[in-house]
Each structure stands twice: as C-alpha cells, then as structure tokens.
Structure 1
Amino acid sequence: MDKYQFLLSSVAENFNLSMQTYQPGQALFNQGDFEPRLFWIKKGLVKLVFFQPDGKEFVKAFLSENDLSGSLMSVVFAQPSPYSCISMEASDVVAIPYEKIKLWVKDYPELRDVELAFMQQLTARKEDREYQFLCLTPEQRYLRFIEQYPQIFSRISQAELAKFLGITPVALSRIKSRNKLATLT
C-alpha cells in the first residue's frame, strides 16, 4: 500500500467511515451542488461529467479503483461543483469529508507530503488533458487514451469514449477503423 492509500485508509478507519455501493447511473454528487467530501473509489468505475443546459454532456475524466474523486471547487473553495460524478459500474466508495483529511494531516505532519503529491498529480493530469485538447488530433488523443488507461478502455462504451475525446461516435468509429487497418498492413 502506498502512502496515498495509507492516508485514505487511515482517515477512513480513524473516523469510522463506511463504504457505500453506487449502482450504474447513480450520482456520487451532482453539478451545481456543494459537496465537501472526497470519494475514494475502492472498486468500480465513475465518470466526471459536465452537463450543458440542453443536456449535452462532456466527460472530464474516468476514475477507477483507488482513484479519488471530488470537486476541488467544493472541498477547497466551498463553491458548487461545476461537474457531476456518475457511477458507470457498481462501485464501492468511501466518502471522506475533506475536513477530516485536513485534521488527520494536521495530527500527522509527515502526511502533508502525501496530500501535496496528490494535488500535484491532479494538476499534472489536468495540464496533460489541456495539452491533448489544444495540441493533439482526435486520433492522437484516442491512441494516447488507450496507452494511458488500458484498464479503463475495455470498460467504457464507444459513446462514452467519444464524449471524453470531444468527438462524435461516428468520428471515433472512423478513427478505430483506420487504426485497425494500419495494424493489419
């Protein structure tokens, strides 16, 4: 168990936090809500999604086992979350009030490095996502997704992947066909 998982386990045990199962389609939190907790995904798959007023959705991220979900706008700045977190599979999740993590880290200063490492990792992932949208073609984003997230690729639908890549399912089908042909020749 790495230090990050140790911190989450310790907080969950110390504050007697229980695990809850979310069914596919069930929201862990909704866009526009203030949600002061972080969600440790012990098992399962969730998506972070922005909804436009017309119902169109854009997938920000997919998170799976041992990932942490939550809106920094809510937990750090006490603002409504700009996105929703929706379970895509039956997911076992521990909800951890961010205030409890701050208390635990205060009592054990050596764990501040773990919290800082998590924030740095989150920032780097966001920076990479921005780079992909600004500098890579949809085909390059598709290939990069397969490379970076092989454990998630087989667990999501083509429609969900297209929303993540910022393209239509038809465009994704064409990209997949071109790449199949390239591997056959």
Structure 2
Amino acid sequence: MLPHRPAAWLALCLGLALLLVELAMGRPGICPCGVVRFWAGDVQSDQNSQQVADWYSFSHVIHGLIFYGIARALWRWTALGRVLSPRWALPLAVAFEGGWELLENSPLIIDRYRSVTISYGYSGDSVLNSLSDVGWMALGFIVAARLPARASVALALVFEAFTLFMIRDNLTLNVLMLVHPIEAVRDWQSSV
C-alpha cells in the first residue's frame, strides 16, 4: 500500500495546503523564540510543539501506524478496494492528519488543552511543528506498510510505554484527558 508517484505528489500538495491554511490562520511559521531546532525535549517549555520533533512526535508515528491499519482494513473488507487503488491510502492519511492539525491549532482545542491537560501554557503548534507532525505520521504509515501487523502493534506499545515513562504522557492519556479528564491523572502527570 505504498503510494505511487501521483499519490506521493498529492500527499505533498496536501502538506503544502496545510502550510498555507495554518499561515492564513495566523499560526507562527517557526517558534516565536526565533530558534529552529530538531529536538525539543522539555515538555514544559516554550519549545514544545514548536520544533521539528518533540516527545509527542512518537504519538504522530503511532497515528501513521493506526492509519495504515485502518486503510488496510478498509481496502481489504469494503468496496473501496474495487473503486480506488490502495496506493492512494497515504494521501488520505495525510488529509486526516492535516485535518487534526488544523483542529488541534484551533482556539477550541488549544483552550481545551490548557484547561484539562498538563499543557497549561499550550499555545498551539508552529507551522513547522504541524508539518513535521504530518511527516512523522507519514513515516509511521510507511513503516507499517513494511512491517507485519504484530510488529506495528508492538512498536506502538513500545512508544506508548516509552513516552509514559519519560514524560508521563502518551497518545492514550492525551486522548483520555481531552475527551474525559481525570483529575488524578492530571495530578500524577503534574508531579514530575
């Protein structure tokens, strides 16, 4: 299910569209601090969600693993496989991830993060970080296309356990705290 050249170009064009929409939304292109780094390792700093990679990049790789699994199931068990080549699955995943990035950087979600998670000072992603998040998702998608399903599941579980151990947060807790905040979890996360 790896993309062919037209699908790869479409995925790149969708990334470009995300860049333009986020700039039009007034999102900063890079960290407002003016520094561009590959890695931002301090979750409670103004660098988090501003640079190319941070602890949440692991969650975006997991998004790619999940999107690949969903795409594989859709193409295998629905009529979609008879209508559209599975090589178009990556651009669809990029579209979904780009849509999440737009929602995540809307005032609604930014305010939600601030009020119910440990991301008290969260101000949204830089455009650089949003595009990188889509890139991390695409990497996860491509890795999943090359791995057996069990290996993809194992990789996702390792990433979840690793980030839970390192920063007391991961994709599972992030979703839980956005959808149904639990004060005890927030207290535990804050006691680093």
Q: Determine if the TM-score, normalized by the shorter chain, exceeds 0.5.
A: no
Larger Rg: 1
TM-score by length of 2: 0.26
Greater share of strand residues, 1 or 2? 1
Choose between structure 1 and 2: higher helix proportion: 2
Q: TM-score, normalised by structure 1?
A: 0.27
Bigger RCO (CA 8 Å, 6+ sep): 2
